[in-house]
Every structure is written in structure tokens, then in C-alpha cells.
Amino acid sequence: MENQVVDAVTLGQSVMAHDMSMWGLFMQAGIVVKTVMIGLMLASIWVWAIVFEKLMRLRKLRAQANTFEEAFWSGGSLEDLYDRIADQPRDPMSAIFVSAMREWRRSNARGVKGETMRARLQQRLERSMETTLGREMDRVERYMTFLASVGSTAPFVGLFGTVWGIMVSFQSIAASKNTSLAVVAPGIAEALLATAMGLVAAIPAVVAYNKISSDLSRYGNRLEAFVDEFTSILSRQLDDARD
């Protein structure tokens, strides 16, 4: 009975000798597990940076689109609006407008005669706006692939660190021939910390990706609606010029 009490005290002291805080577990981890955790930590920081940048930028883009649409639908001259913003479009919607108006002016300068020429002009206008729309959306959607990649791979990277840490713990057990908690617990805890960090990086990335993708889809639909409306306006002007 006395030997059991002594063993329990020795076991408790051995466990307490290890720093079981998160920082302590990180510092005691092996080089492979530590590398995995550092990589996941950096990925998590970059994920949050992207999330804040995207949310703030989308908010700004929506405000700029509202301002532009107010000017566009105010009933003023589109030529005057183009002259004001042609040098530096502030947002994707104004960039689409500028690209179409620039092509419109070039074609008018050369003169548009005949049905064939008008049809070709309308095709060029549509192609110009669609190209600008695609280019602007590519810029807005930048780094979204990184969010998707972190969300899908971070848990597996963390799991790799966990498996490696547990494997090292088993090797320590085999070398010491000691299966006590004092030998097993620290290594297992270090390994599980890698999985936890993988989830910490992945969960915000998945949630943010779904939220931002939905917002981007709505914004893209808004730009496409503007392209259709502006195409209709220009088409009517072509019809009026023909008459």
C-alpha cells in the first residue's frame, strides 16, 4: 500500500514537471509538429487578414456602386458623366461604364452606317463590358482560393501533426519501456494541439468563404444587371440614330 502511494506521488510530480499550457506544449513539441503548428498559425492569421479586407472592400464597393447608380439614373448626360470619371473609375461598375462609353465614342468618331456596322458595334460594346466585368471580378475575388484551400486542407495538416506526435510518443514509450501517464500525456497533448490549431484555422476559413462568396455572387449579379440595362440603353440609342 505504501509503495502505491509513493508511485502515485512520483507520477503526479512527473506530470507536473511538464508545462501543460498551450505555450508549453508548443515549446516541448518536436520539430515536425512545431513546424505544422507554426504553418497553421500563419495560415490562420492570413485568413483573418483576408476576411477583414474582403468585408471592408465589399462594403466600400457597394457604397460606391450606390453613388454611381444615383449619378447614372439621375437623368443627366451620360457624356458628362463619362467625362468626369473616365480618367479614374472608382469601382467596377464605373469601370464597366467607362469601357463601354470609350468604345461608343470611338465608333461614333469613325461613323456607324448600315445595319451590319450597328450590329458589330453592339457586339463590341457587349464584349467590352463583359471583359471589364470579368477582369474586375477577378480582382475582387482575389485570395478567395486561399480561403477555400485552408478550409479544406488545414484539418488534415493538423491531423498529420497529431499522427506524427502520437507516433513519436509511442516511440518514447517503447524506448523507456514505461507506459505511465507521465510518459504518454505530454506527447499526446502536444499532438492533439496540432489538430486543434488545424480546426482553428479551418473553421473561420470555411465560414468566411461561404459568407464572402455569397456576397460576391450578389455583387456580381448586380454588375451583370447593370451591363444588361446599359446594353439596352445603348441599343435604343442605336435604333434612334438609325431612324
* Cβ neighbours of residue 224 closer than 8 Å, sequence gap 6 or more: 133
Instruction: Report the pLDDT value the prediction gives residue 187, as an integer from 0 to 100.
Output: 67
Instruction: Report the pLDDT value the prediction gives residue 117, as an integer from 0 to 100.
Output: 67
pTM of the model: 0.78
Give whole-number Cα distances, 48 to 35, 67, 146, in Å. 20, 29, 11
Give whole-number Cα distances, 136 to 9, 57, 96, 161, 236, in Å. 67, 13, 9, 39, 26
Instruction: Report the pLDDT value the prediction gives residue 3, as an integer from 0 to 100.
Output: 44
Rounded distance, CA 53 to CA 175, Å?
A: 50
- The DSSP result for 86-154, as a single string, is SS---SHHHHHHHHHHHHHHHHHHH---HHHHHHHHHHHHHHHHHHHHHHHHHHHTTTHHHHHHHHHHH
Instruction: Write out the chain's pLDDT in tens, 243 residues.
Output: 444 443 444 444 444 455 556 556 656 666 877 888 889 999 999 999 999 999 999 999 999 999 999 999 988 888 899 889 988 888 999 999 999 988 888 876 555 555 666 777 788 888 999 999 999 999 999 999 999 999 999 999 988 888 887 877 777 777 766 666 566 666 677 778 888 889 999 999 999 999 999 999 999 999 999 999 998 888 887 766 565
* Cβ neighbours of residue 220 closer than 8 Å, sequence gap 6 or more: 133, 137
Rounded distance, CA 208 to CA 205, Å?
A: 5
